[in-house]
A and B are shown apart, each in its own frame.
Chain A
């Protein structure tokens, strides 16, 4: 390039920049229409999402407010520590709470070892195979089966065949059937979150599968597993249908003395009160619902706290 050329460019400069400016302006203008449309769609998308959230929250809020306004006046320590009664003012949920706690404890004792054990077998010990995928898919299906079906199964097996009658044990076993798939799925997910590099490291050091699971898999997965277990527990706590089928009492003015005793639970007590014609009993049911919701809120928050606190860095 000679000095002459440079001079020419300098001469033409104002002209050149204005050309660039106008052509760029045209470019931006020509794309503007399209942009408006995209922005409009983007805006509508946002509005739809916000509406969905608001509908969900407001339904929940209406439910909570109506329950609280009805049940508030009955909520007292006396309500929690009294047995149900024909007289509204003497009624309480003592037998329901005791029954629920007993059923849940027995459910957990049976469901946790079986559920966690199954998940460890499927996830850590089974080789990748068609059978394994088949089993995993079917466990997901089991989690979707309505709980009343498990109640019928429990009635047939635990109440009739095993002769457990309408006991805490029969109810708890039926409930463990309901939550087993949930525990297995939650545990499987916790285990599959552990990177394979840790498994390889352990196996390459001459560890057996048990040593690997005991020292590296479970210590890194327990918080997630426990979270899943707690969420399954709160699901079991609120279950009513399978227990009704198995034959839990709807009126019990006593605390079950052992796992072979008759029982009732909090959700069943609530269900019973809502079926009464007198409106005072509906208010009692609302108070019961408040207690149930309180318990569930506490356990679920605990599960989330636990997960956040103990989630470990693994790679």
Chain B
């Protein structure tokens, strides 16, 4: 990373504070029944950058990710305290439809999960049910080009998405998400089930997508966090121990716990 870029990031981090952030968690605590999984988490995501959530298994990073698009709503006994706002609006406000939140805050899952339908249908279904009116052929072509799948699948758009390889399926899932024109994309260990070559393709894609979207990625791979993200947050037992510019977190962590984790002493 060039020195100039780092300066720009610092600029973004500090001056950005006065601007409104795209996605913000304010003292968020979350519970599954009596079990507290998030403790007073505060995090602020500014636009058009990649944020990585790192930490050992069970530290609450996936739970936090799912709080941002209200995917935890369906889990019985789930409770949330604090406030999460998306461009200034409280997303847990009773007046706001969770469907609208999820349209604007897309999500990519750990295991590629294309619908058992054609590639074409996979992409247009989201915009269609959200009442968007578009030229579907054009939408399919542009989104597939964005994720670099167009050349690989343009001759079999009406074949099942399940016939693609794992890496292609995951890029199809990303295409399906960006077809909705979201502001934020949440990614829950998007490369965990992919081989190294597919992983590097998805990582390249992430770096390209941040020109248009804000990306929050949960990852178990510290190398991946380093390679793809601008900002990182280290979580441990439901708390954000440290967050800041990825380079700083990895090269000069302030907290001893962060240092122990990134040097591989636990987790």
Residues of A that sit less than 8 Å from B by CB: 127-129, 195, 197-198, 200-208, 211, 215-216, 220, 312-315
Contact = CB atoms under 8 A, between A and B. Distances in A.
Nearest to A211: B129
Contact of A129 (B71, B76, B115): B76
Given A128-B76, A215-B129, A203 B162 contact: no
B99 A208 contact: yes
Contacts of B74: 127, 203
B32 to A, nearest CB: 11
B202 to A, nearest CB: 17
Nearest to A128: B76
Contact of B126 (A197, A206, A315): A206
Interface in B48-106: 69, 71, 74-76, 99-103, 106
B109 A201 contact: yes
Contacts of B210: none
A310 to B, nearest CB: 12
A206 B103 CA distance: 5
Contacts of A200: 71, 107, 109, 113
Given A127-B74, A315-B162, A206 B113 contact: no
Count chain A CB atoms within 10 A of each CB in B69, B74, B101, B176 and give the residue with the most: B74
Contacts of B99: 206-208
Contacts of B111: 197
A206 B129 contact: yes
Contacts, number: 71
B113 A313 contact: no
Interface in B177-217: 177, 180
A197 B114 CA distance: 9
B176 A205 contact: yes
A128 B78 CA distance: 11
B28 interface: no
A220 B103 CA distance: 24
Count chain B CB atoms within 10 A of each CB in A195, A197, A216, A220 and give the residue with the most: A197
B106 A205 contact: yes
B221 interface: no
Given A200-B107, A201-B114, A204-B71, 7 more contacts: A200-B71, A201-B113, A201-B173, A205-B130, A205-B177, A206-B103, A215-B129
6 contacts: A127-B74, A198-B116, A205-B176, A206-B99, A206-B101, A313-B160
Contacts of A202: 115
Contacts of B173: 201
A226 B32 CA distance: 37
A198 to B, nearest CB: 6
Contacts of B180: 205-206
